[in-house]
Structures are given as C-alpha cells and as structure tokens.
Amino acid sequence: MPKVLLDWFYVGVFAVVGTLLAVLPLVVVWLLAPRVDLPQKTITYESGVIPFGQAWAQFNVRYYLFALVFVVFDVEVIYLYPWAVVFRQLGAVAFVEMLMFLLILLVGLAYAWRKGALEWV
Amino acid sequence: MWAIEFLKAVGLAVVIFTFLAVVGAMIGVYLERKISAWIQARLGPKHVGPQGLLQTVADTVKLLQKEHITPRNADALIFNSAPVIVAVAALLDWVVIPFGTAGGRVLVVRDLSIGVLYFAAMASITVVGILSGGWSSNNKYALLGGLRSASQMISYEIPLALGIVWVAMVAGTLSTVGIVNAQLTQGGWFMFKLPPPIGFLGAPFGVLAGVTFLASATAEVNRVPFDLPEAESELVAGYFAEYTGMRFALFQLGEYGEMFGMSALATIMFFGGWAEPRLEPWMWVAVTLGFLVVAAIILLTGARRNLLVRPIVILSLLGAVVSILMALGAHLPSVVWFLVKLFALVFFLMWMRWTYPRLRLDQLLNLSWKVLLPLGLLNLLATGLILTVWGR
C-alpha cells in the first residue's frame, strides 16, 4: 500500500473520529443537562437591553479589501513552498527566478500600500 | 491490513484527542489561571484538589450539566456546528507533530511529506469555525468578533507561512520529522544556526524568522496582544458570546489545542523539536549556577516571604539538578525535551498575555502588512542569497 495513501487515510480517520469525539460531550449534555424553555432565554444577548434590529446588517467594506489583498499574497506563498523545498538543489538559477517573482510582488505590495488599501480608516 | 490500520488510526485519534483535552485544555487553563495569578500577585485556584489542580476538572463537570441555549434568531445548524469545526481543526493539527523518538522510531501519527504545509492548512480551518460561529449567532458582538478574527487570521497567515517557507528553504523539506532531522544533522537549532558553512553567523536571520513566526502564531491563535476578536472589555466574549456550556468548552478546547499546536510547530521548526540541546559540560555548569543564583536570590532576599515565588524556587532547583546531571553526561528521553520546550513556549505566550496591552485594529493590521510581511519577504530573499552564495 503506498505510504501517501495511508497517510491521508489516517487524516481522514482523524477527521471522522475527531468529529465524533467532539460531538460526544454535546450528547452527554443532551442527556444530563436540564431543558427549560422560556422565551426570554433565547433572546439575543445585547448587554441586557432588548436587541434592536438584526446583527446581519451592512458591515465595513474594509474587511473585504483586506480579504482581496490576502488572496493575492496567499497564492504567492503557495508558489513559494515547492520552490523552497528544491531551492538548495537548483542553486543560483532558482534564486534569481524567485527574486524576480518576489520583486514583482513587492511592487504589488507597494502599490496596495500607496493606494491606501492597507489603511484602516 | 486496512482493518488494522483503521483500528490504529482510531486509537491514535482517541489518544491525541484525550491528550488535547487533558494537557491542552485542562492543564492549559489551569496553568493560565495560576500563571496569571502569579503575575498579578494573587493565589489563583486553590481549593479544588491540591493547589487547585482539579479546578478545571470540576469546571468541566459543571459545564457538562449546563443547558444549551440556541438563540432564536441564530442560524441553528451553523451555530451548532461551529464549535465542532474549531475543535476538529485543532485535533487535525496534531497529526504531523512528532513527540520524540523511542527505540529508533519517531513518535508521530503520520509523517506527511508536506507536514508543515498541512499544519498551516489545518490551522487555518479554525477561521471557518470562528467566522461561522460569529456570524450565525446573529449577535452584534459576535459578528464583530468573528469579522475581526477573520481579518486578523488571514492577515497573519501570510507572515506565518513566510516563516514556514523560510524553514522549508533551510531544511530542504516540508516534513516535520525531516526538519528536526536537519537540525540534528547540523547540530543546532534553526533559530540560531544555519547549515554549514554559515553556522552561527546565520543567527540574525533565524532570530528574525523565528520572531516573525512566533508573533504571527500568537495572532493566529487570537491571544494577547492580538486578542481583539474576543476583547472582553468591548465585545463581551467576541465570537463565542452566545455559546453556553459544553459548546463554549469546545471553543476553549480548540483555542488551547491550537495554542499548544502552534507552540509545538515553533518548537519543531526553530528549537530543534525533540533534539537534546548539546552543550559543553562547562556550559551546563554555567546553566546550573544560573538556576542556583535565581533560587539563592529568592531565598536570601525579602522575596522568600512571598508565597507566590515558591514554584519558581522549586523549578530552578529542579533545573539545577537536571543541568548538573547533564554536565556529567546524563541524557533525558527525547519526549521530555520536546515537552519541556513546548511548555516553555506555552509559558512564554501566557507571560505575554498578562504583560502586554491589546493592540488597536489598525495597529494590528499595520503590524502584519507593513512590518511582518515585508520583513518576512526580505528575510527570505536575504537567506536565499547567502545560502546560494555560501551554502553550496
């Protein structure tokens, strides 16, 4: 049996067994804990006042900008992983190539910075 | 064949989950309370069991009897699954963490060939749980906490990944076992030493990468000074404000499991994992003297009247005994070294928590995008350059 298949088989078993083990205490609670239904209990908590409006409303667009910048750099880092592993075998050529790649990205970072995409206002 | 492997996998999953629940959550919470108490000159939990050791056990039993309340405006399905996601993500981290060696075998669940990348991927699943918990509560505090958490975790994931890439570049492998073996081969931690012929001259790069990694790891696990998502003074409890009883405990389990996991990864990547520190005998003697001086200062000055320093005296005497034995050529099991380094890092994180104030959201994002990210990239380039020029 190939090792890599066995590796991911273990990961899969961990995910399933982990979910079961995490649900187990919830089942114990369902068996042990009291259940008293009162309408006041299920009101959304808002420091003791009656909540007004929903929480599912508009929120700051800044979060979205950071998410966009994140996607760019996260994909970049994914490209760095395979390069990092074989870097020492490939030598100078690999370094120069990654230098060019990273410089382009640094320009991108500088652009986002100058544009104010990284400012929280 | 598959059946045996299946049973082994299930057994290991139960063992690791128990390890996380007992060591990560129970001992972690106990240590946090005790250490915060010492730092703030209090006594901390004291009444349940000797020195309050059973306090968290009692708390768990209490939480098991608490009713689960789902707010009527919440999205019930997502609301209920969020704590499970967080806990499972913390468990999955530990698949690739090697605890040490025993009889020539490495004690690791599976030595994945992409170990550290897998770790980073699993650790970032946490943000899905936190964001869905915060959003589905339909609570303004929880939503703000969840959003802050998401923006913080994605911002710090990049410096974190750059730290991992730095180690992968130096070690030439992504496997956690391979990284520790690379440090064993070169005879020094990546924090302070690069592969020959660079050696200790590479220390500034290692320290920079290590500090970048530790800072972003602290932010990834939402701990002070990066604990805005659950800032209790402004957001009550942030994304888990609406969670009661055992579901709250699952969030705590996930959080502490993640903290221990990040500390374990830092131990493996920068502090030699299970490797025993190899020092000259005279250096061990110096370490012994250092421990004895700490104990002597406490015992000979007014500090001895403070009950809170007793654990420090005991720990330094223990450290002195161990290091004098090390000077005489004794060896400790590798698992012990791994746990010592792990708990030292966990202690460091707790120390930070009770020492520094919280950052503001704009400071937090600036630190990630304008300081750690450029520093990480430049460090990667600089280390790549010296490895290319001298590392052949």
Predicted local distance difference test score (pLDDT) of residue B106: 81
Residues 370-389 of B with CB under 8 A from A: 370, 373-374, 377, 380-381, 384-385, 387-388
Choice between B132 and A57, residue whose per-residue pLDDT is larger: B132
Q: How far apart are CA B383 and CA B214, in angstroms?
A: 18
Nearest to B72 among A42, A67, A121 (CB): A42
Q: Does B82 touch chain A if contact means CB atoms closer than 8 Å?
A: no
Query: For residue A4, what is the nearest residue in chain B, using CA coordinates?
Result: B112
Minimum-distance CB partner of A55 among B5, B140, B380: B140
**Is there a contact between B88 and B79 (Cβ–Cβ < 8 Å)?**
no
> Residue A120 above 80 pLDDT?
no
Average pLDDT over chain A, rounded to an integer:
82
**What is the C-alpha separation between B185 and A114, in angstroms, rounded?**
45
Q: Report the pLDDT value the prediction gives residue B234, as an integer from 0 to 100.
A: 65
Q: What is the pLDDT of residue B358?
A: 80
Provide the greatest CA pair distance for chain A: 70
Residue B178 is encoded by which pair of tokens?
A: 């391979």
pLDDT at residue A67, as a whole number: 84
**Which B residues, 294 through 353, put their C-beta within 8 Å of a C-beta on chain A?**
none
- In the numeric block, the tokens 């590796």 are attached to A7
C-beta separation of B257 from B87 below 8 A: yes
CB B268 within 8 A of CB B337: no
Please tell me the distance in Å from B289's CA to the nearest CA on chain A: 42
Which of these, B96, B165, B99, B155, lies nearest to B127 by C-alpha position? B155
Q: Are B95 and B157 in contact (CB under 8 A)?
A: no
Query: How many residues are recorded in chain B?
Result: 392
Q: What is residue B353's three-state secondary structure?
A: helix
**pLDDT over 80 at A28, yes or no:** yes
* d(C-alpha B371, C-alpha B356), whole Å: 19
Residue matched to tokens 């790549």? B384
Q: Higher model confidence: residue A55 or residue B297?
A: B297
Nearest to A87 among B144, B377, B384 (CB): B384
Q: What is the mean pLDDT of residues A92-99?
A: 84
* Residue B199, beta-bridge partner list: B194
Q: E-assigned strands of chain B?
A: 101-102, 105-106
In tens digits, chain B (392 residues) has pLDDT values of 778 888 888 888 888 888 888 887 888 888 888 888 877 878 788 888 787 788 888 888 888 888 888 887 778 888 888 889 988 888 888 888 888 888 778 888 888 888 888 998 888 888 888 888 888 888 888 888 888 888 888 888 889 988 899 888 888 888 888 888 888 887 778 877 777 777 777 778 888 888 889 888 888 887 777 776 666 666 676 777 778 878 888 888 888 888 899 999 999 888 888 887 777 778 888 888 888 888 888 888 766 666 667 777 888 888 888 888 887 777 778 888 888 889 888 888 888 888 888 887 788 888 888 888 888 888 888 888 888 887 65
What pLDDT is attached to residue B391?
Answer: 66
B97 contact partners, CB below 8 Å, separation of at least 6: B108, B109, B119, B176, B261, B264, B265, B268
pTM here is: 0.88
Tokens 């897998």, located at residue: B118
Comparing CB atoms, the residue among B155, B165, B361 nearest residue A77 is B165
Q: Which of B288, B258, B277 is nearest to B336 (CA)?
A: B277
**Closest residue on chain B to A8 (Cα):** B112
Residues B137, B232: Cα–Cα separation, whole Å: 17
Query: Among all chains, which residue has been given the structure tokens 């000074």?
Result: B225
For residue B139, give the nearest of A45, A34, A119, A68 by alpha carbon.
A45
Query: What is residue B307's predicted lDDT score, i.e. its pLDDT?
Result: 64
pLDDT at residue B233 in the model: 64
Handedness of CA B264, B265, B270, B273 (dihedral sign): positive
Q: Which amino acid is at B105?
A: R
CB B155 within 8 A of CB B369: yes
Q: How far is CA A33 from CA A26, A28, B29, B136, B221, in A?
A: 10, 8, 23, 23, 30
How much is the pLDDT for B77? Answer: 87
Interface of B with A in 132-161 (CB under 8 A): 135, 137-144, 147, 150-151, 154-155, 157-158, 161
